[in-house]
């Protein structure tokens, strides 16, 4: 009997992509009270860093990260939906952060960047990725030695076992667990690129 599906939600099984039309629902006025990206990432991100926000959606985390990296840093906001990226661009301009945020349209199975990264974030998006192993391998290659990768997945969509499997795959790819930070409504891991 195949029991591989137990513990998976519908979203995980079908790899549903969060449509751009739902962006206002996710990035609503209350979200800053639940998730404060500057507070969440301040311990790991410093001025001048190059940071990837993969699956950035409408850019909630990208904006917070851009405030931390400062004028010498760069946030690459990457997503597979160009409409999401358009929202990121507009918000970056409104916030006076457009010099720190570059948008990048990726393919579902290929991020397609050349830059070396200090830090990468996948906020509530890994459960939408069609090939998690290939995704983790690509992030691993993009990170500098000792670069860190912050994954948080929504508890509501992603079962405990499914998240454990993501961590296991990360370790198989070469990541080590650095920390288990706390993010509201999330299951979270901070990974570090092993040598
Ligand atoms: C639930 S939303 C989260 C958005 C944002 N990280 C946030 O927390 O507000 C997931 C986002 O991941 C994007 N996404 C899904 N699969 C992707 C992939 N393989 N590569 C890059 N982005 C992807 C979707 O287009 C969507 O914008």
Q: Measured in angstroms, how far is the CA atom of residue 81 from the centroid of ligand 1?
A: 8
* Residue nearest atom 11 of ligand 1, based on CA coordinates: 55
| pLDDT recorded at residue 8 | 46
- What digits encode the pLDDT tens for the residues 138-180? 999 999 999 999 999 999 889 999 999 999 999 999 999 999 9
C-alpha 55/C-alpha 79 separation (Å) is 5
| Verdict on whether the full-model pTM lies above 0.85 | yes
Q: Measured in angstroms, how far is the CA atom of residue 1 from the centroid of ligand 1?
A: 33
Quick one: the chain helix, strand, coil %, rounded to 5? 35, 25, 35
| pLDDT recorded at residue 2 | 32
* Residue nearest atom 15 of ligand 1, based on CA coordinates: 128
Consecutive 10-residue averages of pLDDT for the chain (195 residues): 40 73 84 93 98 97 98 98 97 98 96 97 96 97 97 93 97 98 96 88
| pLDDT recorded at residue 157 | 86
3 state SS of 29: coil
C-alpha 51/C-alpha 48 separation (Å) is 9
Position in ligand 1 atom list of the atom nearest CA 79 = 22
| pLDDT recorded at residue 1 | 30
Q: Measured in angstroms, how far is the CA atom of residue 20 from the centroid of ligand 1?
A: 9
Q: What is the token pair recorded at 118? A: 């200090």
Position in ligand 1 atom list of the atom nearest CA 130 = 19
Q: Which CATH class is domain 49-193?
A: alpha beta
What is the DSSP secondary-structure string of 117-185? EEEEEEES-GGG-S-HHHHHHHHHHHEEEEEEEEEEEETTTS-HHHHHHHHHHHHHHTEEEEE----TT
Residues with beta carbon inside 6 Å of ligand 1?
17-18, 26-27, 54-57, 60-61, 78-81, 84, 106, 108, 123-125, 128-129
- What digits encode the pLDDT tens for the residues 85-97? 999 999 999 999 9
């Amino acid at each position: 009997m195949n029991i591989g599906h137990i513990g998976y939600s519908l979203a995980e099984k079908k790899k549903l992509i969060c449509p751009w039309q739902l962006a206002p629902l996710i990035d609503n006025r209350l979200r800053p009270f639940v998730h404060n990206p500057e507070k969440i990432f301040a311990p790991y991100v410093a001025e001048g860093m190059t940071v990837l926000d993969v699956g950035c959606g409408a850019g909630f985390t990208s904006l917070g990260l851009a405030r931390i990296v400062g004028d010498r840093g760069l946030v690459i906001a990457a997503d597979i939906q160009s409409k999401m990226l358009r929202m990121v661009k507009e918000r970056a301009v409104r916030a006076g952060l457009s010099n720190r945020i570059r948008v990048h349209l990726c393919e579902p199975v290929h991020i397609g960047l050349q830059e070396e990264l200090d830090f990468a974030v996948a906020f509530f998006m890994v459960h939408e990725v069609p090939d998690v192993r290939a995704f983790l391998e690509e992030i691993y290659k993009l990170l500098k030695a000792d670069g860190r990768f912050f994954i948080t997945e929504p508890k509501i969509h992603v079962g405990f076992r499914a998240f454990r499997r993501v961590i296991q795959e990360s370790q198989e790819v070469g990541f080590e667990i650095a920390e288990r930070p706390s993010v509201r409504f999330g299951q979270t891991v901070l990974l570090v690129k092993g040598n």
